[in-house]
Structure 1
Amino acid sequence: MLVCMRLERFTERLPFKAPLCPDNLFGHLIATAVPGVEEWRDGVYRRSLRLPFGCGTAALRPLTDHVECTVELSDARDLTTALDLCRFLLDLDVNPVEVDDALSTDPLLAQLVMSAPGRRVPRTVDGAEFAIRAVLGQQVSTKAARTHAARLVARYGTPVGDLRLFPLEFDPAELAMPESRRRTMAALLEALQSGLDLSPRADRGVAREWLATLPGFGPWTVESIAMRALGDPDAFLPTDLGIRLAANALGLPSTPAALVRRSEVWRPWRAYAVQHLWATGDHEVNRIPA
């Protein structure tokens, strides 16, 4: 059993290529934060980390030309991995100029890109955790999904300082949700234990195929995991209601099949087009709290 005792602190600068639009990047992480695992306090986003040699926490503060990153680790050998996970979480290694230039060739997206250059894709530090949270969030509000997740964390989460690790093993029968979603969760947990790899280094094709075989895993859930956990820059969510409403408002096709055809011109950066389309809505994921 993983036990995280004394933590050693390291502070590093995480540089990135400008521009960087922090609004939906940190806004998404804050709005969907699971109590006990994540928090936003005094301009800093914090969360727990599950690492190869132990565990830890990361505190991330967005600044003008870098992100200030403070990690506290149970084993110093995890420092490089922890910093890499933080960079992946915030999508700091993309070239935003290349993405923005590509999407701006579409006149219907150009104004969105011009008004918020450097949008990134908010990701995750733990693909298995994200997949479990995606199932918890199926057909319920963001608030309800956070409540389900917080209960799991309170019961099964391993303490890491003042935070906890999100549990990857538990009994789905104890979840307060419909039986069909309990079966979905049980199938996911079994797949994860059987070797389903949802890390950034995973084979995306293999992961997508495996996820698609699980009961209750439709295209929206599979593509969300591909975008946030696998880091696929071309993942696309044509069935998402927010995307369809935004597309309709811009004069883009709004039916899924037509939108997929239209999105061909955004390849290989459709995940970033998704962020721009989502940002047209008035939702808390699109802004950093005052």
Structure 2
Amino acid sequence: MPAMLVLVAPLMAAPMHYRHNAPESPLDRRYVYHWKVLETALEKTRATHGDYVLEPGEVMTEARQLFELERATGSLTVVYQGTTPVIERTLWPVRIPVDRDLVGYRVLLVRRERLDQFASVRSVADLKTVTFGFGLGWLDGDVVRANGLRVVTGSSYEGLFDMLNNGRFEAFPRGAVEILDEWQARRERYPELAIEPSLLVYYPMPMYFWFARDDVGRSLAERAEAGMRLMIADGSYDRLFAEYQDQTIVALGLKHRRILRLSNPLLGPETPLQDRRLWFDPTTYQPGGRR
């Protein structure tokens, strides 16, 4: 009797699963660009790493996101976050600033009645009379406090706009990548809020993709980094930045604002500050992604 040939279909590798924090409200568009960067990186590695799933999980505070990822619970597998010594020890980073540190350039959302006050600001010392608002657990609050400035915290992202409107603090520093969408989405609800037109508060705040410090997390991180390196090499890192950010950069007049520089004591020694390809500079940037 002839031997029977048994054909076994090769097992398909399971797709790599990237689950991130969900938007906090229908108006929350802060991270649309950032997840597009990750999606592009994953597409560029499809041939070498296979399929993937990129999807939102549930809404979590930043503190809970880190808690869940550190414990590799599976409720999140990737977090978009700045760096601190603690996070560097407990999570696995891809040390490529996702938005070229555009988020480190802060434009102030203020009450219209305060615009004259901010127009007279010439130095960081002039900001010491100002109270700034941040979310509970946001790294920015720690950075601003470390520079001797006053901080008030709120328990929710949406609630911070109410707090500013009600005079609980005087300025809500928003990343240049964020503020236009935020203001336009809320201008009818908060007609007394305005974008301050002359100042740009800068502290280096590279935002990375972070993963669990286990085998699964490292494989997810390695794929994301490989894809982002391909993006840098083929120019799509710059092109995507220009596609999403040029209109904002021009509309906010970043090149012409007075830059007030703060230090960031949370930066680690492995921050890739010397690779200028990864960092936005409003004084030299040309629309179209040209540095």
Larger radius of gyration: 2
| TM-score, scaled relative to structure 2 | 0.25
| TM-score, scaled relative to structure 1 | 0.25
Q: Which has the higher contact order (CA 8 A, sep 6+)?
A: 2
Q: Quick check: which one's helix share is greater?
A: 1
Q: Quick check: which one's strand share is greater?
A: 2
